[in-house]
Structure 1
Amino acid sequence: MLCSLVLLVNCKGGDDSINPEVSKTVSTGTVEGKVFAKNGTKPIGGAIVFTIDSKNQVYHTYSNADGSFNLTAPEGNTTLHIQTGNGLNFRTEIPVTVNKNETTSVASKDSKLNQIAKIAYVEGSYDEIEAIITSLGYTATEISYQDLKNFNTISQYDIIFLNCGSRNPAQTGTNSPGNDLSVFSNLSTFITNGGSIYTSDWAAAYLVGGDKYVSGCSTYGGFLDLTKICFTNTGNSAMYNNCSVTNTAMAAALGFSTLDIQYDMSLWEKIQHYDPTFWEVLVQKGNEPLMIRTNKYVDKTAPKISVGTSLNNNHMTICHHTAGGNNVTITINQNAWNAHQAHGDYVGSCSGTTSSGNIYYTTFHNHASGNIGKAGPILEYVILNL
């Protein structure tokens, strides 16, 4: 069933927003290649690969789990765009010439995903997401817990990874973030203005408050209230067998839809309650959510402040409208926006109702033993799609 889904997603090489009568007159060729992370060895599935013609029509496809893609594109000189997530954080642009009824191959050295985002992380204990970031060939800057109290510091980043067990030096013998209202306020403003965060296990305290960890479903004072998410530190050391990747796009990108997850420590944070209209479940065991995300968080009291790297100042994320209803999220140069708007595109992700960044939460993480199995590719997917 999964294989059929992958074939269905990736065989679509054109844009169904193009008028059928017009498309018959368009001469096309094929562009093929393979998407890699910056390290040149890790293939990237689920990347959108597209070109835009002179009428601002988008021809697109997606890379398979092995990174390969095959795109039907209009004849002539064009730019091949490769993006993950919404395209703001990781993207590559390659000039190509498409010849009628011929196949053009893109060299692997040219189809590596470039890092546009500035990434930060707070050091954790028994959790090192930065090790996976580095292994993919990307860079992340370490910031301290105290840096989270300074919005001018964190606003220069696009993504902040909050490792399980990241430490607040002001709390002797305990971990962050306590009930530090300045940290909660800054993270709330950061996300509302387009920044994205990743939290794992005990870092749930950054979302709802807590000391070492979230001990139970009661009021702590984070920026998410208990109607949105509720945790208890009641997880046991165990192997979770036959977990499901419930997001179809993610499963297609990874090339698998089931996995076993090792929880090699007790007291990990179990999700007791979540708002299904706010969160999307990505990985679960039975009915128990293990990994969730949202791009629907908005703090209406937060000031409007620029967040992220200046490299994105002339780019914007849009939902490209197709007549067949297969809308796609892409990032384009702002100069092209008026033409896209004229045929029904709108600003923002197709899957969200706000311009906020993403919040990812995972009950599992990159634990010290290093033997994380298929959870490793899932964390790689998170990094590239934040």
Structure 2
Amino acid sequence: MKKHYLFILLCIFTLLTNCSGGDDPAVVSENTTTVKTGKITGKVMSQNGTKPIGGASVFTFDDKYKIYYTTSDAEGKFTLDAPAGNHTIYIQTGNGSNFRTEISANVKDNETLNLDASQTKLNQVAKIAYVKGTYDKIEDIIQILGYTATEITNNDLANLTTISQYDIIFLNCGSRNNYSANPTLYSAIDANLAIFVANGGSIYASDWDVAYLVGGTTNTNNCSLPGGFVPDSKLCSKNIGNSGMLGATVNNAGLTTALGFNTLNIDYDLGSWQKIINYDPAYWEVLVKETSSNDALMIRTNHFTATGIPVTPIGNAPNTTFVTVCITLPGNIQISLSVPQAFVPYLVALGATVGSCSGASNSGYIYYTTFHNHATGNIGNAAVILQYVILNL
């Protein structure tokens, strides 16, 4: 009988020893794998290779559509941790719908792949137009970066078929003139710009050309003037700014990363300029403000909506195979990116949403600066800000 008890106790002891694990190695689930990664380095440059591009999104996906993401610093440099294997590396600014580059890369485990500068140039996807102004020349800055833009006129702005072929329109200060002499023309312009932005087109206006947004002529001096397409309740600007140097603070983290600084002096070198009197903070984001007074100097929105706006294809939208999605990164950081259409259902299954992370569902961006953009003028560090505007519309 004792032998039977001893045998049973021995069996129990053996079972307990095996179950406790002791110093034996842990059993790893067959579904658990270690992801092999390498690094990709490079420097994002403008299309002509002359200007570094800060704040650009650099990313790729693994075979299960997990995103690997980083941004370029103010010198355009980046280091991306990426899964090993053959992958497409995406470089984009803004939400990627207007400027983007794709690169095929073979990433090797625990190795660093240095991308050549010829590979990391940021390509122009958008069709860009500008209206010639009296004081500003944003087209010069576009050209300095190696991108192209087509000159159009106010008569072209009054033709929806003409402007709908573009993705971005730049409105140089002083281009909106003779409003009272031709109200029919400007009424058509206002209606067309509303359609353009509501369907995803983006515009940038400087100083006096706030009149395209809120009405009036080249030097708007009152609120709630006739014309424009942005509701009067959203913005008021008056031509009461004085000439001189203003200390300014960058009020946006992404812009600060792209620039590499967050304070600058802006030279308002004309006798008068548009001063933002009030704005709706739920509608506009302040990107640059006056340091001493906190007055807004540069604002943007993608919240434009209006009733009765027809659905109109804008720019390259009808032909693109890319879709804008909102992806949430660790830390609950949301980013808007353009991805191949085939990726969308897989990314949505992982929690992404279709469309930009903020703003109205179909709205393009409106950027407005109270300061000027003439490339040959004394705009100092503001020139880098204007490069950011061009690339992030």
Judge same fold: TM > 0.5, yes or no.
yes
Checking the alignment, whether the CA contact within 8 Å between 1:179 and 1:222 is kept in structure 2 is no
Checking the alignment, whether the CA contact within 8 Å between 1:148 and 1:183 is kept in structure 2 is yes
Checking the alignment, whether the CA contact within 8 Å between 2:93 and 2:99 is kept in structure 1 is yes
Q: Give a deviation string over 1:123-174, Cα, whole Å, max 9, x none.
A: 00110000000000000000011000000000000000000001557867xx
Report the Cα offset of residue 213 of structure 1.
2.1
The separation in 1 between residues aligned to 2:31 and 2:385, in whole angstroms, is 41
Alignment of 1:31-110 (within 5 A): 31-110=40-119
* Distance verdict in 2 for CA 1:184–1:167, change over 3 Å: closer
In the alignment, which residue of structure 2 is the partner of 1:367?
374
Return 353-362 or 161-170, whichever deviates more. 161-170
Q: Which has the larger radius of gyration?
A: 2
The separation in 1 between residues aligned to 2:334 and 2:64, in whole angstroms, is 17
Q: Of 145, 152, 176, which residue of structure 1 is paired with 2:161? A: 152
Report the Cα offset of residue 212 of structure 1.
2.6
The separation in 1 between residues aligned to 2:319 and 2:243, in whole angstroms, is 43
Report the Cα offset of residue 221 of structure 1.
2.8
The separation in 2 between residues aligned to 1:60 and 1:93, in whole angstroms, is 14
Checking the alignment, whether the CA contact within 8 Å between 2:177 and 2:218 is kept in structure 1 is no
Query: Are 1:306 and 2:313 counterparts?
Result: yes
CA RMSD of aligned residues (A): 2.0
Q: What amino acid is aligned across from residue 109 of structure 1 in structure 2? A: S
* Distance verdict in 2 for CA 1:311–1:96, change over 3 Å: farther
Report the Cα offset of residue 309 of structure 1.
1.8
The separation in 2 between residues aligned to 1:302 and 1:265, in whole angstroms, is 37
Checking the alignment, whether the CA contact within 8 Å between 1:123 and 1:167 is kept in structure 2 is no
Query: Are 1:139 and 2:148 counterparts?
Result: yes
The separation in 1 between residues aligned to 2:240 and 2:41, in whole angstroms, is 49
* Distance verdict in 2 for CA 1:312–1:349, change over 3 Å: farther
The separation in 1 between residues aligned to 2:97 and 2:33, in whole angstroms, is 33
Report the Cα offset of residue 355 of structure 1.
2.1
SS for the counterpart of 1:264 is strand
Q: Of 21, 29, 34, which residue of structure 2 is paired with 1:25? A: 34
Checking the alignment, whether the CA contact within 8 Å between 1:31 and 1:104 is kept in structure 2 is yes
Report the Cα offset of residue 178 of structure 1.
8.9
* Distance verdict in 2 for CA 1:218–1:355, change over 3 Å: closer
In the alignment, which residue of structure 2 is the partner of 1:16?
none
Report the Cα offset of residue 22 of structure 1.
8.5
Counting aligned pairs with the same residue, the percent is 54
The separation in 1 between residues aligned to 2:114 and 2:239, in whole angstroms, is 51
The separation in 2 between residues aligned to 1:81 and 1:218, in whole angstroms, is 44
Checking the alignment, whether the CA contact within 8 Å between 1:178 and 1:212 is kept in structure 2 is no
SS for the counterpart of 1:101 is coil
The separation in 2 between residues aligned to 1:220 and 1:171, in whole angstroms, is 10
Q: Of 281, 290, 295, which residue of structure 1 is paired with 2:297? A: 290
Instruction: Give the TM-score taking structure 2 as reference length.
Output: 0.88
Checking the alignment, whether the CA contact within 8 Å between 2:138 and 2:374 is kept in structure 1 is no
Q: What amino acid is aligned across from residue 99 of structure 2 in structure 1? A: F
Report the Cα offset of residue 322 of structure 1.
3.8
In the alignment, which residue of structure 1 is the partner of 2:4?
none
The separation in 2 between residues aligned to 1:52 and 1:368, in whole angstroms, is 39
Q: What amino acid is aligned across from residue 263 of structure 1 in structure 2? A: Y
Checking the alignment, whether the CA contact within 8 Å between 2:179 and 2:186 is kept in structure 1 is no
The separation in 1 between residues aligned to 2:31 and 2:78, in whole angstroms, is 25
Checking the alignment, whether the CA contact within 8 Å between 1:178 and 1:211 is kept in structure 2 is no
Q: Of 235, 244, 266, which residue of structure 1 is paired with 2:271? A: 266
Q: What amino acid is aligned across from residue 381 of structure 1 in structure 2? A: Y
Q: What amino acid is aligned across from residue 140 of structure 1 in structure 2? A: A
Checking the alignment, whether the CA contact within 8 Å between 1:185 and 1:223 is kept in structure 2 is yes
In the alignment, which residue of structure 1 is the partner of 2:203?
197
The separation in 1 between residues aligned to 2:367 and 2:263, in whole angstroms, is 20
Checking the alignment, whether the CA contact within 8 Å between 2:138 and 2:375 is kept in structure 1 is no
Return 252-261 or 293-302, whichever deviates more. 293-302
Q: Of 247, 256, 279, which residue of structure 2 is paired with 1:251? A: 256
Checking the alignment, whether the CA contact within 8 Å between 1:177 and 1:206 is kept in structure 2 is no
* Distance verdict in 2 for CA 1:222–1:49, change over 3 Å: same
Checking the alignment, whether the CA contact within 8 Å between 1:177 and 1:211 is kept in structure 2 is no
In the alignment, which residue of structure 2 is the partner of 1:161?
170
Checking the alignment, whether the CA contact within 8 Å between 1:281 and 1:291 is kept in structure 2 is yes
